[in-house]
């Protein structure tokens, strides 16, 4: 029977700590498993990743080519009508400030875009940077108003 006074770890799960430098007969005396001399035998002697002994490293030998446009990409926060239906009451004003207060928009973003996923049964006064055409139709069909702040940079 297993009780607190006879608990033991599983055999093989506990290992003795390597005690370096405790005489030659310990197997890890003298050079402590580091070999004789050289950079890796010294205190603090480590080689940074990618170092090739002074030879020009591979990451510098390979040609640099191509262009990545990711750093210039606009970060657009997406809001769906189904989310507005769940978080807002009829007649509420929906702006980026209110969307951040409810947690629908987090972090930094360049614009907030309204998409038509889901249904809207409440009349809301929505003010966003971008909106899809289908979202505009659904908001007006529900009796609400939609103000698009920047129509020119639609994506």
Helical H segments across the chain, by residue range: 58-61, 81-87, 96-102, 133-141
Chain segment 97-152, per-residue pLDDT in tens:
999 999 999 999 999 999 999 999 999 999 999 999 999 999 999 999 999 987 55
pLDDT recorded at residue 152: 52
State which fold the 77-148 domain adopts.
Ribosomal Protein L15; Chain: K; domain 2 (3.100.10)
Chain segment 31-76, per-residue pLDDT in tens:
888 999 988 899 888 889 999 999 999 999 999 888 989 889 999 9
- With H, G, I as helix, E, B as strand and everything else as coil, classify residue 130: strand
Q: Is the pTM above the cut of 0.75?
A: no
pLDDT recorded at residue 87: 92
Give the integer Cα–Cα distance in Å for 95 and 101: 10
Helical H segments across 13-132, by residue range: 58-61, 81-87, 96-102
Q: How many Cβ atoms from other residues are within 10 Å of residue 54's Cβ?
A: 6
pLDDT recorded at residue 150: 75
Task: Identify the DSSP state of 116.
Answer: -
Give the integer Cα–Cα distance in Å for 155 and 148: 13
């Amino acid at each position: 029977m297993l009780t607190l006074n006879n608990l033991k770890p599983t055999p093989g799960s506990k290992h003795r700590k390597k005690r370096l430098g405790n005489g030659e007969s310990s197997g890890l005396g003298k050079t402590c498993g580091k070999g004789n001399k050289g950079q890796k035998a010294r205190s603090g002697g480590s080689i940074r990743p990618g170092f090739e002994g002074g030879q020009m490293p591979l990451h510098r030998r390979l040609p640099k080519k191509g262009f990545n446009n990711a750093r210039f990409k606009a970060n657009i926060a997406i809001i769906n009508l189904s989310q507005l239906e769940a978080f807002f009451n009829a007649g509420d004003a929906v702006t980026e400030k209110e969307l951040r207060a409810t947690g629908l928009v987090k972090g930094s973003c360049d614009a907030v875009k309204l998409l038509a996923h889901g249904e809207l049964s409440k009349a809301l006064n929505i003010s966003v940077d971008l909106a899809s055409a289908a979202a505009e139709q659904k908001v007006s069909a529900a009796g609400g108003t939609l103000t698009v702040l920047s129509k020119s940079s639609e994506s």
